[in-house]
Structure 1
Amino acid sequence: MPDAIVRRSVLFLTLLVHIARGQVSYSIPEEMEKGSIVGNIAQDLGLDLQRLKSGKARIYSRDSTDYIELNRSTGSLLSREKMDRESLCAKTTPCALHLQMIMENPMEFYTITIEITDINDNAPSAGFMLGRAFDPDVGTHALQRYSLKPTDTFRLELHNQADGSKNVEMILQNPLDREKQSSLILLLEAFDGGDPVLSGTVQIHITVLDINDNAPVFTQKIYKTTITENATKGTILTMVSASDTDEGSNSVVTYYISDTVEKNVAEIFLINEKSGELILNGLVDYENVRHYEINIQAKDQGGLSNECKVIIDVLDINDNSPSINIVSSSRSISEGSKSGTVVSVLNVDDLDSGLNGQVQCVLNDDIPFSITSPSSNFVSLQTEQELDREREAEYNISVICADEGLPALSSSVSLRVQISDVNDNAPVFEKSHYEACVLENNTPGLSIFTVKASDADWNQNARVSYILEDSTVNGVSVSSYVSVHPDSGLITAVRSFDYEQLKDFHFRVKAQDGGSPPLSSNATVKIIIEDQNDNAPQVLYPVQTGASVVAEIVPPVAVDGDSGQNAWLSYKLQKATDRALFEVGLQNGEIRTVRQVTDKDTVKQKLTVVVEDNGQPSRSAVVSINVAVADGFPEVLSEFTDFTHEKQYDENLTFYLVIALAAVSFLFITCVVVIISVKIYRWRQSRFLYQSNMPVIPYYPPHYAGTGVTETLPHGYNYEVCMTTDSRKSGCKFSTLGGQNVLVVDPSFTETMQRALKENNGFGLGFTTAEVRKSTHIYRRQY
């Protein structure tokens, strides 16, 4: 082969930097001078130069440390020697160095990828075989075209191969005549695509034979086969076959291996010259060479030849166990460290490929650590959760790495990590919300219940104290209602509670440990005051005064200051002159006639109604009601008088006479005073008092608050009711506070009453029987 003319040009260094998730990539051309700057990793990763020094930053690589070094003072990556891409990677693209930069305290590591780009530093070279020229460069710098001179007899034809290369075939264009010209000399030139273009030339000497004009022809242009890397010597890989259409010795074909780019091919493989069997003559290692391409030439006795290619793929077997190297490791870690804290960094590698080279690392069971893979060959051992020294003070961690081959191969390494203690557990209440019930009228100092909090720490860090947080209840500090024992958490009542004033209240209790700084938590406590049947019923109507008896329009209303079942009321008819004539509603106390009142019924009816609440024990009130049956209003008044006289006589005759005399005297004096007063002030007040249609406004005793439930009559009162004889459906209803409870009076009766009051100074003495009988009326009087 003639010497190739090699031309070199000066290339400017172009750096491409890419950073993502702790990774940085650079691209540099091959053949850089020693000491050239690859890049500044401190600037590209945003690291402080002091961090590079304090963290003892260093470059780690299993195979490429000799090519790159780190300057900690400037953060620059420098080349330690020239790098030849063809020597490092041959035809492999892209060609890259994979490095790691590791720092300690805290432990950090970053992946560095440096791609070596090709420059046009090799010229194509032509061999004696007319098949193809070889150019070690790649891309546009590789072999691009051929040129043959002269071109009058032969022409070139290129054939694309499966691997992307091009074989050149010289084809005869015109018949040869040995007698005119017995030999030819041609010049074959190969060109690459560089700038400037480099080329290589070869001379071709052609001898024209007179008879043997047919070259051997292979049955296939390309043969493919596979072999495992543990195949034994002497294994037959494949058999090539070529035929020659000539006869005699000119048809005898001989096979041999032609020159190839791969080194040591002739030592590893050999071919049977006669049969064409390709035989393994050495050992193949998948980790060294994974693919072979062998050119086989067939020649006949006349010197004509042809060529084919045999492609051999080496199959990997799982013959390499994973290797584990501890790059950096911490012996202890604080239990206050966050989840994800890196404890150790391991370099894990397997020289096999595919599943045989895929490594999975696992840890021993029941430990709060996990394995992550930040890069292909590195794994990080990190905490999976916040550690608790009180639960485990030390961990023995076994890291087991196994590949996925069949059978799988594995390796392991052991690490010991100690956990240092901090106050990292706050007290925890058994509940976040507590509720307790206290019966009203309790004694001060009563123990209500106990809150409990526990701390997972130990010693002083686990000592819990209970504190009542400051708040107010109805404008008063909560400390005047309850207290909390600082050691036991016992909640004690400071005062006696009254359900009618306070039904429930909330406050918060804090549990604080003895750590430094202390940790605490809170719980909400709700105290519910339970009602007792401690309130006797009260009467809203009629209002008791020392004045004379006055007729009431609004029915009596009874209430109970308690609540719940303590205020549930029931009404029962205890006594009656005629039980067959009246009935009492159990829930509403309504008194109705069961049948029509007749002349045969007693004119004077006496009823006794008992009202009970549902408390334990229950409280009750008794109401006496006098009912008179009459045809007209005058008769009603006389019947009421008779009721009073009769009742008092029956009870005590002397008492009756005294009361009657006092009543008559009081009535007379009152009438005189009222008549004189009305005459004097009539011109001022008569229109406003008697012509107004405003309804009667009930009077409620001061400082009373209803409970919104059924009420009762708390004491014994006497009521008198008068009805006409046809009042079958008439009734007197003693109702509750569930609505607007008043006796309903016919409008015509109201107008008649107002007119009578105006004419007779409010005593109603001017009513006629016809006016009274316009509707059914009910009257009552209190004694």
Structure 2
Amino acid sequence: MALVRRSVLFLTLLVHIARGQVSYSIPEEMEKGSIVGNIAQDLGLDLQRLKSGKVRIYSRDSTEYIELNRNTGSLLSREKMDRESLCAKTTPCALHLQMIMENPMEFYTITIEITDINDNAPSFQRKEFRFEISESAAAGARFLLEGAVDADVGVNDLQSYSLKPTDNFVLELHSQSDGDKSVEMVLQRSLDREKKVVVTLLLTAFDGGDPQLSGTVQIDVTVLDANDNAPVFTQKVYKAILTENAAKGFKLTTVSATDADEGSNGHVTYYVASKDDIVRNMFIIDQHSGEVTLNGFVDFEKASHYQIDIQAKDQGGLSDSCKLIIDVLDINDNKPVISLLSMSNSVSEDSTPGTVVAMMKVDDTDSGVNGQIHCTINDNIPFALISSSSNFISLRIEQQLDRERDAEYNISVTCSDQGVPALSSSASLSLQISDVNDNAPVFEKSYYEACVVENNTPGLFIFTVKASDADWNQNARVSYILEDSTVNGVSVSSYVSVHPDSGLITAVRSFDYEQLKDFHFRVKAQDGGSLPLSSNATVKITIQDQNDNAPHVLYPVLTGASVVAEIVPRAADVGYLVTKVVAVDVDSGQNAWLSYKLQKATGRALFEVGLQNGEIRTVRQVTDKDAVKQKLTVVVEDKGQPSRSAVVSINVAVADSFPEVLSEFTDFTHEKQYNDSLTFYLILALTVVSLLFIVSIILIISVKIYRWRQNKLLYKSGANLPVIPYYPPVYADGTLQHVYNYELCGTTDSRMSDMKFVRPYSQNTLVSQSPINKNQSSKYER
């Protein structure tokens, strides 16, 4: 087998193309997946044509053996093929396939011949042969042997026999009309029972393959006493005619042989000697009368001719043989079979006449007029049947179609044979007429507006856009697409999404009004036509503000290290502006409308806050009973629902002198009475700071005077030097470039001294250092 497989690899595939037909020749037993041939190359077809034409391989009874790879155009074997199982002795052995393509419809006939390889050895049906031959048998007596069977054909079939030993017998081969060989054992030297009662021979059958295969059977010859006459058939060939589907037990003929001997040596018995098991089971013979009868059912479509070998044997072992040839007559017992190879479920109403919409193959296994077929369709439809070779029929458009007149056709195809009586079959085809895509989707509105409250949850439904298409079916199926654009440099798809089927617009993220007030985008509605049509609509999404930010107080600002206080003279008039609370709210609308309320005050009847502007003014004259230290708590509240608010505390000093203010506001930071020792240290610290300040002023003045004198001398000595331009000093970011004046006041009637800082722009804000920070160095004029 290994040599056979290697030889298969070097077999050449024969390809013939003529009038749409392709022929290949392959050896049997090819491995699964082996390439039979490239149909695309051999027919000159483009691979893309195979895909667009939905190419299919059709075979009535051989589909399981061959498949088509659409990507490469190669025909591949789906499994190993045994030529003997497919065709038995029929030659040539071929698979007949049809290849169908659509748009436009085409078909090709493919013939794949399966060549034989020597994979079957000759074999005998019986394990041994037994003969009883009289010793009186004369030289030249013939004994028919049952030949060997080889499933292969051609040179791989049975070719020769050999018989060993050849002391008494030789072999003779005779070619028959059907190409088979009959084997006879011929006596060439008389037997002598007294020398040898049983003669054992070995019969070997050889085929013509490479390597050569063989089969053997043993022949045992029992030597009998004299029987000198063999049976003789009255004729060597008998003929009979049998109608298919004949009943079991039907008598075919009677064969007859005579023997000149008397007694048991002249008694003849008959046997079917054919090698084919099917034939031996299909026909039986009466051993005594020679009557041949049918033992099964014959089918003309399977076999139209039988040949039977019949042997007549006497009791002495002598025999003769004849042939019975049976011809089977066909009857019209098979209806035409309509196979729908390809069918377009729908065609466009603008299809041109001549377009193929269906391809059918009609088969009738009967022969002669019983297998001749004629097909028709129902009347008054714009279609026609066109017949081609090999019983292929195509259904084509005969007239222009109009979907508005007929949207569907039910076509009945009837095929009848020419037998008597005629047999027929019908097939119904349903064909839809499809619409042409000539209408684009139309939105209900070309401009949509919607509002979304900020801080929404992602996935929130916003609203739905809707478009309709006047076409039908797929051409009217509308899909919605979000056109690509950017919002603040980011793709709009990160803000919203559009459901492709429903047009439902949903939020992808949570919106923030403070970052994005509104944005625009476009939605495209596209139909499902093969050449899709579309239209656009503009959508505007407005973000509505939500009260999610509390007011923020800009002024006054309290720090942990200082107390901000406003001074109100005791002589202040009614309506005196103490200070103004400044606040902002990043929300919008009423969520940013701020109102100011005095929540808490040391003297509630002394001050009031402007509801809209946050101005703190006096509502009456200051009296001696009013405390120097006034602490106000102002609430800033927006108009949102629910509202948000912020609270600021303001210190107000009601006093005319700075020491009075300072002594009182020391308690703002610590909220307790300092003892005398702490006051002493405070006065000491102020004194030291004052001395250091005076010394610093003196040093600065001295340095100024010294530099002025140096510059004056340099000017006199360098009158002829070039002028050097003056560049003002550059201050770093955050460095003050203004002149600040500091005023130091010391009291003589107390151990306590006060320091007053006069601020620029005549502001009424007093900064009183806490005791832990009063030792910090003072800033001087820059």
TM-score, L = length of structure 2: 0.49
Q: Which of 1 and 2 has higher RCO (CA within 8 Å, sep 6+)?
A: 1
